[in-house]
Amino acid sequence: MTSSSPPTPAPSGAPKPSRPLRRLTARERGEAHRVASSLELFFDLCFVVAVAQAGVQLVHAVAAGHAGEGILNYAMVFFAIWWAWMNFSWFASAYDNDDALYRVVTLVQIAGVLVLAAGVSRASTQHDFLLVLLGYVIMRLAMVWQWLRAARSAPGAERTTALRYACGVLLCQIGWLGLVALPEPARPWVFLVMVVAELCVPLYAERAQNTSWHPHHIAERYGLFTIIVLGETIAAATVAVKSATDEHNALGELLPIAAGGLLIVFSAWWIYFVVPIHGHLRSSRRAFVWGYGHYLVFASAAAIGAGLEVAVEQAVGKAHISTLSASAAVTLPTALYLLTVWGLHARHFKAGLTQQLVLPVTALLVICCTFLGDWAVLAAGLVSAVSVAVGVVLTARASGREHAAGATAAAG
C-alpha cells in the first residue's frame, strides 16, 4: 500500500469546503494566491446583460436626436448596475466563504440584475422605473442579508461596520421609492440625492473599522469587469456593422468606423492594463477614490460601443442626426475614458512631464477629431493607437535610464 501525503491545510481566512454552511467571517487581507472565483466571473457576465441593455437604449435615444434625455437615463440606470456590482465585489473580497448559502444569495442578486435589465427599455422609453427599481431592491436586499450574516459572526468594531452597512443600504431602498412615487420632473433630483446617500454609506460604515478587502483581488475584479465591458463594446459594434452591411451594402462607409472603433477598444485595453494598480490600493482613502471613479471608466467604456453603433446607423442613413453628432457619440466617451483612467491610476506610475501629458493630450486630440466628418472615428482610433506607441517608447526609455543608473551605481 502506498502512503499518501496529508492534505495541505487551507490558508487562514480562505473558504474551507468541509461543510455546506459555515460562519461568514472576514478573510485575511494578506491572503496568498487570492483570485476571482468562478461565481464572481458568472456574476460579472450576468451584469453585462444589463450593461448591454442600457447601451441599446442609449443608441436609440442618440440616434433619434434625444441625446440629453438618453444620457440622463443611461447615467441613472448604469449607476444602479455599477453600484450593486461594486458593493458585491468589495464585500466578496472581504467575506466570501463560498458556502451554499452565500452562493444562493449571490444567485438572488444575479436574478435581481436580470429583472433590472428587463426594465431598462421601459425606463428609457416610457419613464417607468418600476422594474428597474424592483431589480435594484432585490439585489440590495440580498446585500443586506449578507451584511447581517457577517455581523452575526463579527466581533466588536467589525460587527458595527457590518450593521452600519446593513442599516444604510436598507434605509436607502426607502428613498429610492421616490423614482416611482414622485412626479417625473422630481425624479432627477431624487436620483441625485439618493446617489449621494448611497455613496455615503461605505464612508460612514468603514469609520468603525475597515473591511479586510484584498488589494490584488479587487484590482483583478475591476480589471476583469473592464475586459468584459470592452468585449461587449466590440460585440455591439460588430453586430451593428454586420447588420448595416447586410441591409445597405455600405462596406466602404463602414470600414473607417470599424477600423477606428477597433483601434479605440484595443488602445483602451492597453492603457488600462499598462500599469499594476494593486500596489496603489494600500489605504482606504485611495481605494474609495479609485473604486468610485470606476463608475466613469465602466460607463464610458460601454458608451463607446453605443457611440460606434450610432456612427454606423448615421453612416447608412438610419439615424437622423448630423455627422458631427454621430462622431461626438464616439469621441466624447473615448476622451472621458482616457482622462478617467489617467486620473485614477495611470498618472501615479508616470515619471516626468512628458509621460504625464500623454493621456490628457490624447483625450484633447480625440475630441478635436470630432470635427473631421466621416473620418472622425478612424482618426480618433489612430490618435489613441499613437498614444499607446508613444507611451511604450517613453516607458522603455525611462526603464533604460534607470537600468543604466543602477549599473553605474553598482560599478561605483
Pairwise CA distance, residues 60 & 149, whole Å: 42
Pairwise CA distance, residues 355 & 361, whole Å: 10
Q: Taking residues 67-86, what's their average pLDDT?
A: 91
Q: Give the up-direction half-sphere exposure of residue 12: CA atoms within 13 A in the CB hemisphere.
A: 3
Q: Taking residues 46-61, what's their average pLDDT?
A: 91
Pairwise CA distance, residues 146 & 94, whole Å: 12
Higher pLDDT, 247 or 141: 141
Pairwise CA distance, residues 349 & 228, whole Å: 25
pTM, full prediction: 0.88
Which residues have CB under 8 Å from 362's CB, separation 6+? 338, 383, 384, 386, 387
Whether pLDDT at 409 is above 60: no
User: Which phi and psi angles does 381 have, rounded to 5°?
Assistant: -65, -40
15 contacts 99 by C-beta, under 8 angstroms: yes
131 contacts 119 by C-beta, under 8 angstroms: yes
In this predicted structure, which of 189-193, 337-341, 355-359 has the lowest mean pLDDT? 355-359
Pairwise CA distance, residues 196 & 41, whole Å: 29
Intra-chain end-to-end CA distance of the chain, in Å: 62
In this predicted structure, which of 66-80, 179-193, 367-381 has the lowest mean pLDDT? 179-193
Whether pLDDT at 10 is above 50: no
pLDDT (0 to 100) of residue 25: 87
Whether pLDDT at 24 is above 70: yes
Other CB atoms closer than 10 Å to residue 12's CB: what's the count?
A: 10
Pairwise CA distance, residues 400 & 407, whole Å: 11
* DSSP letter, residue 321: S
- Looking up cell 459572526 gives 153
Q: Selecting from 1.20.1410, 3.40.50, 3.30.310, 1.10.3470, what CATH number does the domain 216-407 have? A: 1.20.1410
pLDDT (0 to 100) of residue 150: 93
Which residues have CB under 8 Å from 243's CB, separation 6+? none
Pairwise CA distance, residues 15 & 268, whole Å: 35
329 contacts 306 by C-beta, under 8 angstroms: yes
Q: Taking residues 369-378, what's their average pLDDT?
A: 93
pLDDT (0 to 100) of residue 242: 82
Whether pLDDT at 282 is above 80: no
pLDDT in tens, 98-138: 889 999 999 999 999 999 999 998 888 888 888 999 999 99
DSSP string spanning 169-221?
HHHHHHHTTHHHHS-GGGHHHHHHHHHHHHHHHHHHHTTT------HHHHHHH
Whether pLDDT at 267 is above 70: yes
* DSSP letter, residue 275: S
Single-letter amino acid, residue 244: A
Q: Taking residues 312-327, what's their average pLDDT?
A: 89
Single-letter amino acid, residue 105: V
Pairwise CA distance, residues 89 & 216, whole Å: 12
Pairwise CA distance, residues 171 & 160, whole Å: 16
Whether pLDDT at 11 is above 70: no
- Domain regions of the chain by residue span: 38-212, 216-407
- The most distant pair of C-alpha atoms in the chain lies apart, rounded to whole Å, by 80
Pairwise CA distance, residues 263 & 303, whole Å: 16
Whether pLDDT at 404 is above 80: no
Pairwise CA distance, residues 191 & 176, whole Å: 8
What average pLDDT is seen over the chain? 86
152 contacts 101 by C-beta, under 8 angstroms: no
Percentage of the chain modeled with pLDDT above 90: 52
